[in-house]
Structure 1
Amino acid sequence: MLRFHFTSDDLARVRIAPGPDPMWEVLLSAHVANQRSGASMFAPWRERVLSGLHPAARMLLRLTPPRGYSPDFLTPVTGTDDFEAGLDAVLSTPRPRLRNDISLLVRGHKPHLWMRDLADGSAPALRGLGVAMRTYYEQAVGPYWSGIRAAVDVDRAARTRAWVEGGTEHALRTLHPSVRWEHPVLSVSTAAERDVDLAGRGLLIIPSYFCQRAPITLADSELPPVLLYPIMHEQAGMDRGFETRSDGGRQLTALLGRTRAAVLRALRTGATTSEIAQRLAISPASASEHATVLRNAGLIASGRERNTVIHALTPLGQTLLDGCGGRVPTLPTAAVRPAALPVTAGDPV
């Protein structure tokens, strides 16, 4: 059991990351790539990636076994979704941290020569790590980032909704089936026994696309506290997010129309089908129909949270609205209801 011990200050400092963390997605997707078998939803991605993975990228897989410890320095907390900023932080890891993390990784095994050099902080080894991580990201994660971000945004909207409806403790209690909240302790079902005293540092909760089974955290409890949790996946949505559309032009043409544009604009903040209908004074059936067209065009993503379906903009949908300056056709002002679910960077969960 993993237990986080909260103070009142910690509860006030719980926050949810604004989106997926590229360094964590690199690490966790590498875990998936290293698995001989795993979740079936990742099987097409794994086969596609491994079939064409550059030899340089495979060096990263040596650092990311599918079970057990992976070096903490691979996932620095940068507060940004920029891969290059995260990579710079990794390559700036102090030598004592490199030595400690690599020693934990290879404990009981003979380390690869490259790992010994990396543990010593040698410049060639660090350059090799940079090449390995960038090459891996460009082949295994970057091409799918839009779909990853869209799926995470939908789940994040559900977490934010839980916070709005019931406060921080309710959001913690409903975070994941393996999580139990009994004030002042957040427990996560894991094989290892471990306690983390937050001691006023708060907790950053990060939704993750490639995280599997149960939430995870860093091994070193002295590092800034984080909790990664696996988002809920819809199998069809997963496959759709990892496909390149060839019929986008035809489907985007179907978006023309006053009401559909208003639906898209209403989803600047996540919403359920019923909330779309209420905000725009249209029927739930009409809201569902418009959401389906928008989803098929790749402009929104949808996910199920218990008995409701939550919709949120994808990066493409956001770009479309931003390109229009947000001035898309709308329904009459009186018919547009105020947004009920703020989904902004750094929201508490």
Structure 2
Amino acid sequence: MTIPGWLVHLFRTGAGSLPPFLLTVPASDAPDLSEELAPLAAVSPARARAELEQRFPRGVPAEVRPLYADPEARAAELRAFLPRYWRAALAPYAATLRAATEEDILRRARTLATQGPEALLNAVGGIAVPGGVAVPGVMAVSGVSRLVLVPLLFGRGTPFSAVSPDGSEAALSYPVEGSAVLVGEAPPERRADTPERGDRLEILIGRSRAGVVRALVVPTTTSDLATSLGLAPSTVSQHLTALVAAGVVRRRRAGVRVLYELDRPGVVLLRHLDHARGMRAAR
């Protein structure tokens, strides 16, 4: 499967972001792929060219010229490509990805309910300003009647933003807590027993226990952890016992299953010590 060259160039030259006309504001809290792609059928050529000229003030590069010349055709190409990419790259992991995002949404909802909208916006990288929201270096929107926060599992923390054509709605992405766990890094069992150089979490608690902490961004059973990490169930159980005792992990029952997941101190630990690791991987 080949990604359109103009799309690759846009992503790379934009520090991992895309022009707003290619990004849509979700119409519901659980849109399917066809709903999210539908607005691309109504891309305004004038808007597309204006945003490309703003993005490339010294002239639109040759790699992006196909998009500039015919925005509608390239948008149709993107609408055809993305479903194929989803089926090949993401559909096999849909359940895990959904569980991670839903858990994160619950955390954010608690922040909103207990601390208010300003705390929520600050937590996801936005800053509440009079009449709107601002994201340093990304977007500043005022007067919107609807702001949608979109959990992002991939993108290495790069924020994406979108504004509806009439300016009444805006969307802002934010990284799901622990999302570095799900970006395809090598599992701990395939590496040496000593901590990876510069991996602060492994240096602090050891390689296999760090693997357990990273895996628990999604609620998981002992047996599933053992299978996914390639560790003996007894080893995983020992790690979980210690992590629960330390207050890093919590245990809860779901029917006949016992699930383990990161408690808030564990999320903070992962966010703080995994951040530099994720940044190195992005380079």
TM-score, shorter chain, exceeding 0.5: yes
- How many angstroms apart in 1 are the aligned matches of 2:53 and 2:44? 14
Given the alignment of the two structures, is residue 76 of structure 1 paired with residue 24 of structure 2, yes or no?
Answer: yes
Bigger RCO (CA 8 Å, 6+ sep): 1
1:110 matched to 2:49: no
Match for residue 139 of structure 1? 88
Deviation at 1:131, TM superposition (A): 2.9
Residue in structure 2 matched with residue 88 of structure 1 by the alignment: 38
Cα deviation for residue 214 of structure 1 reads 6.0
Deviation at 1:208, TM superposition (A): 1.3
2:10 is matched with 63
Amino acid paired to 2:108:
R
- Residue equivalent to 2:105: 156
Fraction of identical pairs, as percent: 18
Cα distance in 1 between the residues matched to 2:173 and 2:51: 19
Structure 2 counterpart of 1:114, one-letter code:
P
Whichever structure has more helix as a proportion of its residues is: 2
Q: Could you tell me how far apart the structure 2 residues matched to 1:154 and 1:141 are?
A: 18
1:195 & 1:128 partners in 2: Cα distance? 30
- Residue type of the partner of 2:22? L
Extract structure 1 runs of 4+ deviating beyond 6 A: 182-185
d(CA) in 2 for partners of 1:170 and 1:162? 7
**TM-score for both structures, normalised by structure 2:** 0.55
C-alpha contact 1:74 1:90 (8 A) present in aligned 2:
yes
Which runs of no fewer than 5 residues in structure 2 stay unpaired? 185-214, 228-248, 269-283
Three-state SS of the structure 2 residue aligned to 1:131 is helix
Closer/same/farther in 2, CA of residues 139 and 103 from structure 1, 3 Å limit: farther
Q: 1:82, CA displacement in angstroms?
A: 1.0
Q: Which runs of 5+ in 1 are unaligned?
A: 1-53, 252-271, 281-286, 293-301, 310-349
1:305 equivalent to 2:273? Answer no
**Equivalence map 1:87-236=2 (5 Å):** 87-108=37-58, 109-112=60-63, 113-119=65-71, 121=72, 123=73, 125-173=74-122, 175-176=123-124, 178-181=125-128, 188=135, 190-191=136-137, 195-197=140-142, 199=143, 201-213=145-157, 215-218=159-162, 222=167, 224-233=169-178, 236=181
Task: Give the aligned CA root-mean-square deviation in angstroms.
Answer: 4.1
Paired residue total: 205
SS of match in other structure, 1:62: helix
